[in-house]
Structure 1
Amino acid sequence: MSSGEFSLIGTLWDPFVYSLQILFGALLLGFSQAFIFAFGANFLPRKILQVVKRGLDFLESVPDIVIAALVQMLMLFLLKAYDIELFRVASYMENKAYALPMITLAILPMVSLFKILLLMIEEEFTKDYVLFLKSKGIRKIGILVVHVLRNIMPTTFHHTKVIIWAALSSQFIIERIFNVHGISFFILESFTPMTIAASLIMLFTPFFFIFQLVDLWLDRSPESALQPDFKKQRSYNPLVFLNNLLYRFRRIEWKKLKPWKPAIGLLRTVYGYLKNRKIAAGTLFFLVLISTSVIYSVTANDHVDQASIVYEEDGTTIKSTPPHAPPEPFLLGSDGQGFSMLDMLIIGANHHQTVPCRQMF
C-alpha cells in the first residue's frame, strides 16, 4: 500500500456513487413494481386478493440475508446446472455487480409499498366521493387513476420515508453478501469517526434535500390548502412544558415504587410483540442462527471445511472443483477456494475473523 495523503471525500466518492446507483435503482424498480402490482391487484377476485395479501405478509417477515442467500444460490444453480449466467453473482476487482444487488434490494421495498398501497386504495374506495363517481357511471379504472391515486400520493410519500430508511439498513447487508465495495465497505473496514461522519453525511444529505423539496411541493399543492395547518394552530412554550414536567415529577410517590415493576412491564411488552407471528418468526430465526453459530464456534473452534477436489467413488474421476455446487460436498456449496458456504455463514453470524481450515478430499 503506497503512503501519502489522500482526500477523504475523493476516496469515498466512487464507492458513494456505486452505492447510490444500486440504492436508487432498487428503489425505482421496487416502487414502480409496487404501483403496477397494486393497480392490477384491484381487478383481481377477492379470494385471490386475500391470497396475495397473505403472501405479502410472509415475504415481509423474511430477513434480507435469507433473500440474498436464496437469490445467490439460484444464480449459482443455473450456472452450474444449465450454464446460464443471468446476472453477476458478486463484484470482483473491476467487474462490478449491479443488477443482482438491485433486484435483491428492491424486493422488500416493493413488498412494503405494495401492501401499503393495497390498504390505502381499499380505504379510498369506501369513501363517499367514490360512491358518487360510481353513480355517475365512471368506470373503476378511471376512478382509480384520476382520483384515488392522486389522493393517496401525499400519504404514500410519507410512508416511503420509512421504507427508504429500511432499504438503507438492508443495503449494508446486501453489499456485504454481494462483495460490493460501496460506501458501507469503507465504513466497516475503516471504522473511524471521520470516515463514518463523512459517509453518513454524503449518504443522508441527498435524501434530506429530496424530502424537503417534495414536502415543500406538497405544502403548496391545491390539496394542502383544504387541510388544516396544525403546526400554526399549536404553539409550544418551553417554560410551560418545563413547569408541567417538574409538577409531574414532584407528584411521583417514590416510596410506593417497586423495582421489579419495570422488568415486569418489559416482559409484558416483549410478550405482546412476540404474539405477532411475523416478529416471532424473525426473532426465532435470529436466535436459532446466533445460538447455532456460538455453539459451533465453541465446539469446532471456528473450523471451516474445505474441499479442493472432489472425486467419484472410484477415487480417480474428478467430480467437481471449486466453487462446488450444492448439495455436495457441502449443503450450500463452496466459494472459489473450496470453503464451505454453510460453515462460513454460521461462523459469521456472531463475529468476523480468520478461521482455521483443514483440507478435505
Structure 2
Amino acid sequence: MTNKFLRFLAALITLTISVVSICHLPALIFKEIPPPEGQPFRQVEKEWGFFPAEYVNEIKSTLSKLIDWHDISYIAQGTYVERKIFPHILESYSYSLSLLFISLLIALLFAVMLTTLTFYLPPIIQKSIRQLSAILEALPDVFVIFSLQLAAVWVFKHTDLLVTEPYAVSGQKIYFLPILTLSLIPMLYLYKNTLLMYENELGKPYVELGVAKGLGKLHILMRHVFPNVLLSFFYNLKYMYLLLISHMIILEYMYNIYGLLRFMTNHPSYEIITVGIILLTLPLSFIFFLIKLLLPKGVTYYDQTAV
C-alpha cells in the first residue's frame, strides 16, 4: 500500500512537470516584447525565434508560483481588476467537472443497457443498429450541438413548452442539453466497443458451460460477462475522458456556459492554463489509483484488456 502511494505521488509530480513543460512550449518560439514606457495598455507584441533560456525561465517562474498557489492572480476580463485565482476558478471547475462525470456515467449506463438489449434483437436489426451508430458517431460535434439547440427552440415554438434552456444567459448554469450532448458521442463509442467485448466473451468456455447448465441469457450477460467487460472498460477511461474534454471546449462556447475551459481561454496565462489542466487531470489520476487498489490480485493491464 505504501509503495503504491509513493508511486502515485511520483506519478503526480511527473505529471505536473510534464504539464508545465508542454504548456510553456509557446515560450520556446515566441518572446513577448513589453510595451514602451508611457503606453502600459498597448498590445503586447511577440517576436518569432528560438528562446530556450526564456522557456526555462518561464517554467521556473510557473513552478515557483505553483508552490505558492494561493498567490496566483489574473486580470478579470473586461476590467483591470486583479483577482486571486482561488476561489474564483473553483466555481467554473466544479461546474465543468460535474458535466464531465455525469455525462461519462450516463454514457456507460446507456451503453451497457443498449448492448444487453441488442442481443435480444434479430440479427438483421442488430446489423442496422450498428450501421446507424457508426453514422451517428461520425457526425461533427457542432452539428450535434446545433441540432439539439434547434430542436429545443422548435418544441418551444410549436408547443410553448420550454423543455430546456438552449443557451445560457448571464452566467446561467444549464445542465440538460450539455450533459445530453456530451454523453451522446461517448455512449456510441462505448456501445460499439462494449458490443465487441461482449461478443468476444460469449465465445469463451465459461459462457458455453453456463448455457449447458440452463442459465438464462440475461443472467449470463449480467452476472458473468459484464464484470469481465467492466474491467476492460477502465482501460479506455482515459481516452473517454480526453474525448469529453475535447467536446467540452466546443460545447462551452456554443452553449455560452462559463466552465473551466472558458475560464482558461479568457485568461490565457501560463499559470492559469497549467493550473486548469492539472485540475482536470487530478480526478482521473485519483480514480485510476483507487481502481488499481480495488482490482483483485493478479489482474493486470495487457493489450488494452484487464487480465
Decide: shared fold, TM above 0.5. Answer: yes
Identity of aligned residues (%): 28
Q: 1:142 is matched with which residue: 197, 219, 222?
A: 219
Give, in whole Å, the separation in 1 of the partners of 2:198 and 2:209: 16
Aligned to 1:173: 250
- Aligned residues of 1:27 and 1:106 also touching (Cα < 8 A): yes
| Structure 1 position 228, deviation (Å) | 9.7
| Structure 1 position 81, deviation (Å) | 2.4
Aligned to 1:130: 207
Aligned to 1:56: 133
Q: 1:108 is matched with which residue: 185, 202, 206?
A: 185
Equivalent residue pairs, number: 226
SS of 1:92's partner is: coil
Task: Check 1:192–1:35 CA distance in 2 against 1; reply closer, same or farther (3 A cut).
Answer: same
- Aligned residues of 1:87 and 1:100 also touching (Cα < 8 A): yes
Task: Give 1:192's aligned amino acid.
Answer: S
Per-residue Cα deviation, 1:105-135 (whole angstroms, up to 9, x for no partner): 1101111111111111011111111112111
Aligned to 2:120: 43
Task: Give 2:259's aligned amino acid.
Answer: G
Give, in whole Å, the separation in 1 of the partners of 2:152 and 2:201: 41
SS of 1:95's partner is: coil
Runs of at least 5 residues in structure 2 that lack an aligned partner in the other structure: 1-77
TM-score (norm 1): 0.60
Aligned to 2:36: none
Counterparts of 1:149-228 in structure 2 under 5 Å? 149-218=226-295, 221-222=296-297, 224=299
| Structure 1 position 94, deviation (Å) | 4.6
TM-score (norm 2): 0.70
| Structure 1 position 3, deviation (Å) | 5.3
- Aligned residues of 2:168 and 2:174 also touching (Cα < 8 A): yes
- Aligned residues of 1:35 and 1:117 also touching (Cα < 8 A): yes
1:92 is aligned to 2:169: yes
Task: Give 2:227's aligned amino acid.
Answer: R
| Structure 1 position 35, deviation (Å) | 1.2
Give, in whole Å, the separation in 1 of the partners of 2:134 and 2:301: 35
Runs of at least 5 residues in structure 1 that lack an aligned partner in the other structure: 231-361
Give, in whole Å, the separation in 2 of the partners of 1:126 and 1:100: 39
Greater Rg over alpha carbons, structure: 1
Counterparts of 1:217-256 in structure 2 under 5 Å? 217-218=294-295, 221-222=296-297, 224=299
Q: 2:157 is matched with which residue: 60, 77, 80?
A: 80
Give, in whole Å, the separation in 2 of the partners of 1:146 and 1:64: 36
Give, in whole Å, the separation in 1 of the partners of 2:188 and 2:112: 11
Counterparts of 1:19-30 in structure 2 under 5 Å? 19-30=96-107
Task: Give 2:184's aligned amino acid.
Answer: I
| Structure 1 position 173, deviation (Å) | 0.7
Task: Check 1:86–1:42 CA distance in 2 against 1; reply closer, same or farther (3 A cut).
Answer: same
| Structure 1 position 82, deviation (Å) | 2.1
CA RMSD between the two structures: 1.9
Return the structure number with greater relative CO, CA threshold 8 A, min gap 6. 2
Counterparts of 1:266-285 in structure 2 under 5 Å? none
